[in-house]
């Protein structure tokens, strides 16, 4: 797996035994849009709060890490948390994939790590103009514009792709907690 600028296999900032806190899921998202808005952070918080209300323990970087964390600390924290979760939720909105042309992009690495793992993966697309029936095929088409490698990983994996709207928000999250992908 390609890790941005470093390989993280263990916590190198602390040689003491790690606390074994487990989480049900981890949420990956793009923090900022190209125009500097933080819609991804806001959506991630909303999804996390709704899942927590359904008794799901969620690892969310903005709740677990400091804004002053270095890139290396962020990567190490995400990698460590990823090892302790049962499944992955990736939030995706229009424009989120333009950074995937950079192989050292952290969000690209999160996708790559998730898709290469055996963990169940749910991709929740939001702010889509018109939700399509074949969401996985559409996802592959859009990813091809920025990363053939990620598009190929999506094709090779059985993942769940949903369009998240205000009308189906809670239904989709309930499906995640009860669905076959998370058992």
**pLDDT at 11 (0 to 100):** 37
Confidence of residue 10 (pLDDT cuts 50, 70, 90): very low
**More reliable by pLDDT, 147 or 85:** 85
How much is the pLDDT for 181?
55
Which pLDDT score is estimated for 65?
A: 86
Rounded Cα–Cα distance for residues 147 and 11 (Å): 29
Residue 179 predicted with pLDDT over 80:
no
Greatest Cα-to-Cα distance within the chain, rounded to the nearest angstrom: 50
Predicted confidence at residue 139, as pLDDT, reads: 82
The pLDDT of residue 118: 94
Topology adopted by domain 23-182: Rossmann fold (3.40.50)
Q: State yes or no: pLDDT of 14 exceeds 50.
A: no
What is the pTM (predicted TM-score) of this model?
0.81
Burial of 4-30, coded b for 16+ CB within 10 Å and e otherwise, reads beeebeeeeeeeeeeeeeebbbbbbbb
- Smallest CA-to-CA distance from 147 within 180, 171, 112, 182 is with 112
């Amino acid at each position: 797996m390609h890790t941005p600028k470093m390989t993280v296999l263990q916590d190198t900032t602390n040689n003491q035994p790690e606390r074994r806190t487990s989480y049900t899921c981890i949420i990956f998202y793009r923090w900022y849009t190209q125009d500097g808005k933080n819609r991804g952070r806001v959506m991630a918080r909303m999804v996390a709060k709704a899942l927590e209300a359904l008794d799901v323990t969620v690892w969310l970087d903005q709740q677990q890490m400091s804004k002053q964390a270095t890139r290396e600390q962020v990567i190490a924290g995400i990698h460590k948390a990823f090892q302790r979760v049962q499944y992955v939720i990736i939030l995706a909105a229009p424009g989120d994939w333009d950074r995937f042309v950079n192989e050292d992009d952290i969000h690209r690495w999160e996708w790559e790590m998730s898709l290469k793992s055996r963990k169940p993966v749910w991709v929740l697309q939001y702010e889509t103009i018109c939700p399509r029936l074949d969401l996985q095929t559409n996802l592959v088409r859009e990813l091809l514009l920025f990363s053939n490698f990620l598009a190929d990983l999506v094709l090779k994996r059985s993942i769940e792709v949903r369009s998240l709207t205000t009308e189906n928000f809670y239904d989709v999250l309930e499906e995640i907690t009860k669905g076959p992908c998370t058992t």
